[in-house]
């Protein structure tokens, strides 16, 4: 069986984990984001057609990032963030490509890093 080829991994992304503290109400809240991994990735913005087919009504920038599978990336969840080109992205979905071949990370843009 032929292995699925990954697209060119020509961008660099950072995966972030929340820095948390307990507030006065005893709730755990994120107070910042620390880098937990870096990866080479492919960046592909989601097309307007895909957004329409998904019946998305919000005007937000969405994209897919494809990276080579690694142990460091395999633990990433929707609780993490992705930083690309100075902007933080909220991870909405993660799919494995093949058997430990790659990961497809769907995300939408939040804000400029540190902003």
Question: How confident is the model at residue 49, as a pLDDT?
Answer: 56
Question: What's the sign of the alpha-carbon dihedral 13, 19, 20, 23?
Answer: negative
SS3 (DSSP) at 71 = helix
Going by C-alpha positions, the residue among 93, 86, 82 that lies closest to residue 114 is 86
Radius of gyration of the chain (CA): 15
Q: What is the mean pLDDT of each run of 10 residues along the chain (115 residues)?
A: 79 95 90 95 80 53 94 94 96 94 95 62
Question: How confident is the model at residue 89, as a pLDDT?
Answer: 96
Question: How confident is the model at residue 56, as a pLDDT?
Answer: 52
Question: How confident is the model at residue 77, as a pLDDT?
Answer: 95
Question: How confident is the model at residue 114, as a pLDDT?
Answer: 55
């Amino acid at each position: 069986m032929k292995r699925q080829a990954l697209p060119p991994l020509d961008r660099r992304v950072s995966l972030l984990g929340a820095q948390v503290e307990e507030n006065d109400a005893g709730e755990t809240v994120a107070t910042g984001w620390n880098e937990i991994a870096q990866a080479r990735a492919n960046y592909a913005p989601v097309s307007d057609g895909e957004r329409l087919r998904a019946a998305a009504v919000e005007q937000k920038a969405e994209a897919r990032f494809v990276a080579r599978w690694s142990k460091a990336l395999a633990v990433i969840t929707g609780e993490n963030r992705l930083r690309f080109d100075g902007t933080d992205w909220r991870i909405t979905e993660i799919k494995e490509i093949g058997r430990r071949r790659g990961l497809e990370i769907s995300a939408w843009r939040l804000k400029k890093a540190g902003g």
